[in-house]
Amino acid sequence: MTDALKVVARTDDVNSGVRDVEPIAAGLADVLADTYCLLFKTHSYHWNVEGPLFYAIHNLTEEQYEDMFKAADELAERIRALGQFAPMSMSEIVKRSVIEDTPTTPSAGDMCRYLAADHERLAHRLHALIDVAGELKDPVTGDLATQRSAFHEKAAWMLRALVKT
């Protein structure tokens, strides 16, 4: 085995002007965990939706889970740019997330309502991260959290609008 394969990741001190990276990295890890859990939930609904709104929900959820997959990478890379570790196990992802599993197979309408509520929950956590990032002089994380919040707020609106009666 070469020495290159023996390198073990470690945290780094980053001196970019951010006052305290640990709470920011923790907030990012929470949002990353929520994103990953919501991505899976959205993808599972995408696979299993049926009924007259199948096509609309199937396509909308595909757009959303693809966006969240890319976002997960951006969130993890921001954690690493701050010199901290991104979550490395599914148990940590599940433990950090506020996104809950659906206990039974929901109707197409309930899928949309559950996902909309989850997107709102994640947007709320992102708003808190924006505040922390501002207090600790981290505009990069603040910008990322603002962009992600805008996505989740729009996703919630679209899902709610789809099932309005």
CATH architecture of 18-97+107-162: Up-down Bundle (1.20)
Only one residue has tokens 């959303």, namely 64
Quote the CA–CA distance of 152 and 158 in Å, as a whole number: 10
- Give, in degrees to the nearest 5, the angle at Cα 132 between 143 and 134: 55
pLDDT at 59: 97
CA 107 to each of CA 10, 49, 54, 114, 156: distance values in angstroms, whole numbers, following the listed order:
45, 8, 11, 10, 17
Asked whether the CA dihedral 89, 97, 41, 154 is positive or negative, the reply is negative
pLDDT at 12: 63
As a dihedral over the C-alpha atoms of residue 133, residue 134, residue 138, residue 140, rounded to 10 degrees, the angle is 90
Are the beta carbons of 64 and 155 closer than 8 angstroms?
A: yes
pLDDT recorded at residue 1: 57
What is the average pLDDT score of the chain? 93
User: Can you list the residues of the chain whose pLDDT is less than 50?
Assistant: none
Which residues, in sequence order, are CB contacts of 162 under 8 Å at separation 6+? Answer: 53, 56, 57, 60, 112
pLDDT for 16 = 65
**Domain positions in the chain:** 18-97+107-162
pLDDT of residue 2: 73
Give the model's pLDDT for residue 49: 97
This prediction has a pTM of 0.92
Strands (E), the chain: none
| pLDDT value of position 94 | 97
What percent of the chain stands above pLDDT 90? Answer: 85
